[in-house]
Structure 1
Amino acid sequence: MKSNYNKIQEKFGENLRKIREEKDFSLRELSMKCEIDDSKISKIENGKFNIQLSTIIELAKGLGVSPKELLDFDF
């Protein structure tokens, strides 16, 4: 059984991917905008990487959204 934190990581990743695709950014494009390696972004989107607040902020800047938009999903 997955822990609640793993489920939250997956939900965050799904939301990140949805926003990235809505903005029509590839992983590489987002990577260049926020200076986070595209393989790391892929792991985040797949719920395989537990991120820090600073990473959420960098992703939000790269996407041009508020950090709260990245966290706007059901827990």
Structure 2
Amino acid sequence: MKINSEKIAFLQGFGKRVQLLREEKQLSLRQLAQNCEIDYSDISKIEKGLRNIQMSTIVELAKGLDVAPKILFDFDFDPQEKN
């Protein structure tokens, strides 16, 4: 399945948000992985915007970061904006 540029931009924005929250909580990738049921290598790919994830993964990330799932989506995204 080919992912268009809007989806890529969204995944990258989401990933940066996850990374920011992880770093604010001073967690390594491995520590976050221990807090949830996601392998640290997958978390790394999510943070880089390389992984299109499911709702269950969002719940696991939120659990691991100890935040409400909606907090993960608190980033600027304009689908009309061109890179």
> TM range, normalised to the smaller chain?
over 0.9
Map 1:5-44 onto structure 2 (within 5 A): 5-44=7-46
The match for 2:51 is: 49
Which amino acid in 2 is paired with 1:56? I
- Percent identical among aligned pairs is 57
TM-score by length of 1: 0.95
Distance in 2 between residues matched to 1:13 and 1:3, nearest whole Å: 15
Following TM superposition, by how much is the alpha carbon of 1:11 offset from its aligned partner in structure 2, in angstroms? 0.1
Following TM superposition, by how much is the alpha carbon of 1:46 offset from its aligned partner in structure 2, in angstroms? 0.3
Higher helix share: 1
Q: Which runs of 5+ in 2 are unaligned?
A: 78-83
Q: How many residues align?
A: 74
TM-score by length of 2: 0.86
Q: Which one has a bigger Cα radius of gyration?
A: 2
Instruction: Give the ranges of 4+ consecutive aligned residues of structure 1 lying more than 2 Å apart after TM superposition.
Output: none
Give a deviation string over 1:9-36, Cα, whole Å, max 9, x none: 0000000000000000000000011020
Higher relative contact order (CA 8 A, sep 6+): 1
